[in-house]
Structure 1
Amino acid sequence: MPNPVKIALHGKVFNDEVKPHIKKVVDYLEASNTELIVSQLFAKKFKEAFPQYSNFDQFNKLQASDNVDYLISLGGDGTLLEAVNYVGELETPILGINTGRLGFLATTPKDKIDKALSDLLNKNYKIDSRALIHLETDSKVFGEKPFALNELAILKTDSSSMITVHTYVDGEYLNSYWADGLIVATPTGSTGYSLSCGGPIILPHSNNFVITPVSAHNLNVRPLIVSDQSVISFKIEGRSNKFLVSLDSKSHSVDSSIKMSVRKGDFKAKLITFDQLNYFDTLRQKLNWGLDLRN
């Protein structure tokens, strides 16, 4: 007999409103004779909510030896970004079930859970490979996870004045951004933090980065799109010697002596999609395009 499909589950703390939807996922997978493995971060809440399903293995980062076929993210986009970190270079396909709010990445709605899981187990899906951004530093700030699906952000600390981020593209001086910070976003991340700072929406497979200042002091400074074949490097100055560097949901405090550069990652995030929804559908729905409140 073939081995059962092995599925990793990752989620966050959830409320009573979300619990029935997570139970639907677990019940369906159990009835389908799949093997489940649950992230350590999710395991405690999972055990409390579903004591009948307490006999499962846990993981902190997926290993090749785990032989996981899919990872299912139960939550919003933030949960899916964490799932990308669990998968890393294994490129295990990720299905995002949206029990959160916006859902640009976790696009499967709660009322389509049964259909999505059926299509998943019957291999009736497509893989949407998304480029990652990779951070290189001289101090290994992010350890074994120096990558992000959405963006790198260099930010001032909460109480400090503006910072200056001297920015170079392939070694050539670009600009000194006097601002609260600077974002380098992937096309996937162009609908996240970068968008809220006035950056453009970039289609997922455009092979670009967008450099977006955060609250720039000079009003004529605008977001800039560059090729993702470029290496973008930085030098940081400010009255405070401490700055915040983040890769999606991961963040660390650094000082101005750090050497940093970003480039396109060596591997990708593989998101599971279905025929009934495409990227333009998601844009229209999440951004309410075409809706007129006067009607």
Structure 2
Amino acid sequence: MKVAIYGQTYRNNSGKYVKLLIDALVENGVEAVVEESFYAIVKEEVNLSKAFATFSVDDPVDPSFDLLFSIGGDGTILRTVTYVRNCGLPIIGINTGRLGFLATIQKDKIEESVSQIINKDYNIVNRSLLQISASPEIESVGDLDFALNEIAISRKNTTSMITVETYLNEEYLTSYWADGLIVATPTGSTGYSLSCAGPVIAPDAKSIVLTPIAPHNLNARPLVIPDSTEIKLRVSGREDTYLVSLDSRIATVPNHTDLIIKRAPFDINLIELKAQSFLKTLRNKLLWGEDKRN
């Protein structure tokens, strides 16, 4: 078995968990390849048993790998997606962050989880992505034109709201007068969209949710639409530009640019251990059922 390991930053208390993962892999004869920037941090802080090969954004992972471990929180997994792209490599996250809807392996379950993975005691679940195009093109986006969680439109350098003119399959829907608009996948429904009162959507639902950010038109509510829908947005406001974020990647876009958002032509594969499920994650992370009256 050949696996990739990726992390972004290094928390003071996470060294022992990185070492625990690597040692467990080595003990089971697994070939581990570490992202080069993360490896440079880790080998300064952790006494590794040997040297490891590395990969980078210029030499990304490919189908010769069996899976990719993401060490961190959900933000780390979102960044991991930019390495995997459309090659189909399954991702599994070890949660050394906080909430962790996507990074589901807890720190005290690393050795047990590695054993399950080696024994293929897991399921692979598909998560849809969104893809954006623009006229004129957004140069800073390049070929990283996709997002696993959401594509968000928001105001920039102003306290004034923006107007987001919205069309679904070329039919006019409404103009949101708000701080912005979130277009989220089912995966992203438990992220930024949820914090703006959007609905929780099951990951296998074929849906997209439009969630306005602090709308001034108070009758504006989140809207769930089929993921076959093509969404066109045109933004105007007092400033000449606004922000478009694709998960954690941000671009500045001129007013009156036509944005087209639709489901991406590929999915991301996430590994779900047999003891895990989306419903269990909801109960654990959102404390559903913890009301003492239940």
Question: Which interval holds the TM-score relative to the shorter structure?
Answer: over 0.9
Q: Which amino acid aligns with 1:250?
A: R
- Partners of 2:116 and 2:224 in 1: CA distance: 37
* TM-fit CA distance, 1:49: 1.9
Q: Which runs of 5+ in 2 are unaligned?
A: none
- Partners of 2:285 and 2:62 in 1: CA distance: 38
- Partners of 1:77 and 1:158 in 2: CA distance: 27
CA-to-partner distance for each residue in 1:262-293, whole Å, 9 max, x for gaps? 11111111000111111111001100111136
SS of residue in 2 equivalent to 1:270: strand
* TM-fit CA distance, 1:32: 2.0
- Partners of 1:261 and 1:70 in 2: CA distance: 32
- Is contact 1:9-1:36 (8 Å) kept? yes
Paired position in structure 2 for 1:279: 278
Where do residues 144-155 of structure 1 align in structure 2 (5 Å cutoff)? 144-155=143-154
* TM-fit CA distance, 1:119: 1.3
Q: Which amino acid aligns with 2:97?
A: G
Where do residues 15-164 of structure 1 align in structure 2 (5 Å cutoff)? 15-50=11-46, 52=48, 53-60=50-57, 63=60, 67-138=64-135, 139-141=137-139, 142-164=141-163
TM-align CA RMSD: 1.7
- Partners of 1:65 and 1:190 in 2: CA distance: 29
Q: Which amino acid aligns with 1:110?
A: K
- Partners of 2:83 and 2:52 in 1: CA distance: 21
- Is contact 1:61-1:87 (8 Å) kept? no
Paired position in structure 1 for 2:4: 8
- Partners of 2:25 and 2:11 in 1: CA distance: 21
- Is contact 2:181-2:213 (8 Å) kept? yes
Paired position in structure 1 for 2:165: 166
- Partners of 2:232 and 2:58 in 1: CA distance: 29
- Is contact 1:163-1:238 (8 Å) kept? yes
CA-to-partner distance for each residue in 1:172-203, whole Å, 9 max, x for gaps? 00010000000000011000000000100111
Paired position in structure 2 for 1:193: 192
Paired position in structure 2 for 1:204: 203
Aligned residue-pair number: 291
* TM-fit CA distance, 1:159: 2.8
- Is contact 1:183-1:211 (8 Å) kept? yes
* TM-fit CA distance, 1:14: 2.0
Query: Could you say if the C-alpha distance between residues 61 and 266 of structure 1 is closer, same or farther in structure 2, counting changes exceeding 3 Å?
Result: farther
CA-to-partner distance for each residue in 1:38-93, whole Å, 9 max, x for gaps? 22342321221235344422221564657222110001100011111110000100
Give TM-score scaled by structure 2 length. Answer: 0.94
Paired position in structure 1 for 2:229: 230
CA-to-partner distance for each residue in 1:83-107, whole Å, 9 max, x for gaps? 1111000010001111111010011
SS of residue in 2 equivalent to 1:89: coil
- Partners of 1:61 and 1:113 in 2: CA distance: 29
* TM-fit CA distance, 1:294: 7.9
Query: Could you say if the C-alpha distance between residues 65 and 271 of structure 1 is closer, same or farther in structure 2, counting changes exceeding 3 Å?
Result: closer
- Is contact 1:62-1:86 (8 Å) kept? no
- Is contact 2:15-2:46 (8 Å) kept? no
Give TM-score scaled by structure 1 length. Answer: 0.94
* TM-fit CA distance, 1:19: 1.2
- Is contact 2:130-2:146 (8 Å) kept? yes
Q: Which amino acid aligns with 2:56?
A: F
Q: Which runs of 5+ in 1 are unaligned?
A: none
- Partners of 1:216 and 1:140 in 2: CA distance: 26
- Partners of 2:292 and 2:121 in 1: CA distance: 37
- Partners of 2:257 and 2:145 in 1: CA distance: 15
* TM-fit CA distance, 1:210: 0.4
- Partners of 2:185 and 2:123 in 1: CA distance: 21
- Partners of 1:64 and 1:37 in 2: CA distance: 9
* TM-fit CA distance, 1:160: 4.0
